[in-house]
Amino acid sequence: MGPEPDVVTVHITVGADGIIRSASAVGHAGSASAGSNIACAAVTVLLRTAYETMAQYEGLEISGEAPAPGSLNFTVRRHGAGFVERLRGAGDFLLTGLSAVEREYPGLVRLIVDSERRQ
């Protein structure tokens, strides 16, 4: 199934340990031209900042790409025990920000969170 028209769909996978395993965004929100939509800009800034923050952690294996306009993803491949709290904090910040953007711009941003955590 492809992206919904005029919606940025963000998909986050959280591991059983509470750490984001992967994040992806695809699509463009609303009818504003690329680069002119605040909802898209907010999603992009949050995802890129989370990725760039985690990529600075020496010893953490993370990969990411933005292969085309309207497409951005990253995956945390491996981390040591010393990274758990920092990665949880980065993930909490990202999810809080994305949830706020989804609430602020209903119908333009769709956040999907898959969790491996046991309730």
User: Which residues lie closer than 8 Å to 16 by C-beta, 6 or more apart?
Assistant: 116, 117, 118
Q: What is the pTM of this model?
A: 0.86
Q: What's residue 111's pLDDT?
A: 97
Using pLDDT thresholds of 50, 70 and 90, give the confidence band for residue 4. Answer: low
Compute the residue count for the chain: 119
Backbone angles phi, psi at 82, to 5 degrees: -70, -10
| List of domains in the chain | 14-112 (3.30.70.1490)
Burial class (CB in 10 A: 0-12, 13-18, 19+), 8: buried
Q: What's residue 54's pLDDT?
A: 92
CB atoms within 10 A of CB 80: 10
DSSP 83-117: GHHHHHHHHHHHHHHHHHHHHHSTTTEEEEEEE--
Q: What is the pLDDT of residues 15-70, one digit of tens each?
A: 988 899 999 999 876 566 665 689 989 999 999 999 999 999 888 899 999 988 88
Q: What's residue 93's pLDDT?
A: 95
**Share above pLDDT 70 across residues of the chain, in percent, rounded to a whole number:** 87
pLDDT higher than threshold 60 for residue 1 = no
Contact (CB, 8 A) for 64 and 75: yes
What whole-number distance in Å separates Cα of residue 77 and Cα of residue 50?
15
